[in-house]
Structure 1
Amino acid sequence: MNKNLQAYPKEEVTALKRMYWRSNFLESCFNMVRLQGLGFGYAMIPMLEYYYKDNPEGLKEALNRHTQFFNTCPNVVTFNLGVAAAMEKEAASNPNFDPAAINSVKTALLGPTAGIGDAIFWVVLRTLAAGIGISLAQTGSILGAIVFVLFINVPSFIGRWYLEIASYTTGTKLVQKMDESGLITLISKAAGIIGLTMVGAMVASNVSLSTPLTLNFGDVPFELQSAFDMIMPGFLPLMLSLLVIALLRKNVKANWIIIGMMVVAIAGRFIGIL
């Protein structure tokens, strides 16, 4: 597989190797806002510095792209890194390339890579490793722990490298062809539609907000929640979600938003409007 790298400059190959080693720290800066986003950006730095070494503003924009929300199986993240790096290479060299497509493709790959990676490493390999390791440990052999660790990590370390090289070398050519044919634009639009659909479904199923407030017009009680439901089912959860999005766009920190919602929820419950 290393033969595929012979056509690339030495500096680019070195950057690829550095990205591979940095991928092992994907979850070092894990947080509940961006999950693996900061770790992904950290791994991308060597490639971004190579592409944008004479373009500081381009480097800033690219690094910002790759520190957004990200979450997949760590054992196969190098596939995502390789594809993202290939697209960044095209974006850096082709002024007509739309950088927004990079995050769209990254988002589209999250589910498939997470599902396949988790199934292979955390269902199949871990179960086999545990079975063999426990059998050896029951005999009093220290090999039980060693086999368990090696059985999971050796395939992961080897697989990471080959996935990165395969996705990067293939992805560079593939991205060029897709860009020329206009397919990337279509994928970006499709990914955006799917993403918005999923966000809408998550808001409807996970955000719960209602009001027990009742207004009296003469002898006729009027339930405010019923009015909201007539406008749109889930109207209040939608308004809350849009408010949070607006605050995030104004660079309000997520922690302050969470604290604010807790205060409003407690006060609203105490007053009787929530």
Structure 2
Amino acid sequence: MSLRIVVCVKYVPDATGDRHFAEDWTLDRDDVDGLLSELDEYAVEQALQIAESAREAGEEAEITVLTVGPEDAADALRKALSMGADKAVHVEDDDLHGTDALGTSLVLAKAIEHIGYDLVVCGMASTDGAMGVLPAMLAERLSVPQATLLSELTVAGGTVTGRRDGDAATERLSAQLPAVVSVTDQSGEARYPSFKGIMAAKKKPVEALDLEDLDLDAERVGLAGSRTEVISATERPARTAGEIVTDEGEGAGQLAGFLAGQKFI
């Protein structure tokens, strides 16, 4: 019996870059570099650890990384493959431009059903949208249990078990497979791809899918099918120069007055 793990990853704009909206209020991706969402690296790491434990126990395990995005999103898949995932699936279609979280969950669910799965692993949120709702939406669309925001994760005997740490309590959760889980940035540091892993990733299979392959109408995704809409945005003002205090024996008092004026003290 083989444990089939699907990891959902996202290609996001570099947070250190200068980002702008296009005329339709979607991100101008041609104007900024992208990369694998850092929070999804934790999901890849946990999938790798689960697969390694299964193989040590004499079971087979296979990890597929899945993304929905433009052509450059293949870079996110290659990073995950170089970390150790076995294969990848890239859903790319021009009609997906502007798809919101609800539409993305629909596309991912269709792709996951196409791939076949026992466990779906997600990051706790994307580093661009930071909504954190996709794992729950996926579980609903797939009609399987969900265990989200886990800082610890194991799979044994057809059951996934995890720990969720809150401000006031720690919870233990478990669910029968198939299931959807999400992991936090406290679940364990993601491994750095080795040179061997980077070279091996070039030979690993990447399947390309579009809306027709998933039997999805364009009207259900993209800007036309989005349930959310950006109607306006204001560019963040440029950073102004700070106030300079020349200390001529009264610097401490001026500093205290400034802090008090800002209600910091």
Same fold? TM cut 0.5: no
- Give the TM bin, normalised by the shorter chain: under 0.3
Structure with the higher helix share, 1 or 2: 1
Greater relative contact order: 1 or 2 (C-alpha under 8 angstroms, separation 6 or more)?
2
State which structure, 1 or 2, has the greater radius of gyration over its C-alpha atoms.
1
TM-score (norm 2): 0.25
Structure with the higher strand share, 1 or 2: 2
TM-score (norm 1): 0.25
